[in-house]
Amino acid sequence: MQKRTPTLVKFGLLFLIVTTPLNAQDVASIEATSDDISENLDLKAVASVFGDTKDLETFEQKLNDPEAPLSNLDLNEDGYVDYLRVIETMEEDTHVIVLQAVLDENVYQDVATIEVEKDTQGTTHVQVVGNIYVYGTGYIVQPVYVHRPVIFNWLWSSTYRPYRSVYYWGYYPKHYSIWKPFHLTHYKKNVLVHVNVKHTYRRTTVRYSTKAVRLHTKVHRNDYALRYPQRAHAVRVTTVRKTNGTSKRVATVRRTNAPTKRVATSKETNSKRKAVVVSTSSNGTRTVKAAKVQKTPDNKEGTKTKVKKRKVTKKKVVKKKRK
């Protein structure tokens, strides 16, 4: 009987170099185009809900409504969607509204900021800026609302005071209850109900307000980024060059109770180990198996000559009996 060719061989082997830093978490490579943790909070939906909300207290309730989930973030990977508290600071005609994930006792991580500023002409500008730890650099959504949002009147009322959430780890509002994250495809489909299609949402990489950048430093919290720098967006998502010259994003996924492995390209010269993706489980996780690589010795001219290992297979010779 003819042996069946393994599925992995059909698709080709992706060679990666894996190094293991100390005090980290295991990372497996997943071939994807957008499967990243930042996809679990749609900033376009956040901008839409903000524009259709009367005040920041109501806005915080909508961010954490288990009946109509707007967020699917689970940064601390405890199996439940993180509570997002709202903290604000202001100066004159500039408001900075920070969305912070509550991850542990006195541990908070900025996820995004909503920067609202009125210019000298009386026009109000809004930008929803993704935190660099979660979204990477230059992830900004700039909504243009079809009507002036009611929340603008509240922000610039004569008696206004900056809003600051009173909730923290273990202490949440009565209406709140925890829920488990949805599958990313399911979340992306259902979060669209929060997007008001009458508004316009533009992507930009330029911050409008320099004052907002300065004000943010007064209330920002990056506790989780400092504790787990290896989980930053720049580390989670890397670009791997394929042999045909095209690029593919590889998202690194943490496994619980295991050391982290940094995924890099096979062109690194000082590496001592290689790894190949050898199998795929039913849930989409790739298993990586490491193999030793022989060092390349220096020749007399000082250059390095690669030494290749050749696999020698012995053929079994069967002698036919003469009749």
Residue 168 DSSP symbol:
B
The pLDDT value given to residue 76: 93
Are 104 and 85 within 8 A, CB to CB? no
Please give the Cα distance from 152 to 154 (Å, whole number): 5
Q: For the chain, what is the mean pLDDT?
A: 75
The pLDDT value given to residue 261: 36
CA of residue 113 relative to chain centroid, distance: 16
Residue 263 DSSP symbol:
E
Q: Which of 95, 82, 89 has its CA nearest to residue 224?
A: 82
Tens-place pLDDT, residues 24-56? 333 333 333 334 788 999 999 999 999 999 999
pTM assigned to the model: 0.65
| Per-residue pLDDT tens digits of the chain, which is 323 residues long | 444 444 443 434 333 333 333 333 333 333 333 347 889 999 999 999 999 999 999 999 999 999 999 999 999 999 999 999 999 999 999 999 999 999 999 999 999 999 999 998 889 999 999 999 999 999 999 999 999 999 999 999 988 999 999 999 999 999 899 999 999 999 999 999 999 999 999 999 998 999 999 999 999 999 999 999 988 988 877 643 334 444 444 444 444 444 333 333 333 434 333 444 445 455 555 454 444 444 444 444 444 444 444 554 544 545 555 54
Assign residue 311 a region (left: φ > 0; alpha: ψ between -120 and 50; beta: otherwise).
beta
Please give the biggest Cα pair distance in the chain: 110
CA of residue 47 relative to chain centroid, distance: 19
> Would you say how long the chain is, in residues?
323
- Copy the structure tokens of residue 187: 């979340």
Are 107 and 224 within 8 A, CB to CB? yes
- Output the CA torsion sign for 18, 231, 209, 71: positive
Cβ-count burial 263-301 (b if 16+ within 10 Å, e if not):
beebeeeeeeebbbbeeeeeeeebebeeeeeeeeeeeee
- Copy the structure tokens of residue 278: 């050898």
- Give every CB contact of residue 49 below 8 A, 6+ residues apart in sequence: 59, 62, 63, 70, 194
Q: Which of 256, 254, 237, 219 has its CA nearest to residue 108?
A: 219
The pLDDT value given to residue 248: 44
Instruction: Please state, in angstroms and as integers, the Cα–Cα distance from residue 261 to each residue in 135, 162, 249, following that order.
Output: 21, 43, 17
Please give the Cα distance from 50 to 54 (Å, whole number): 8
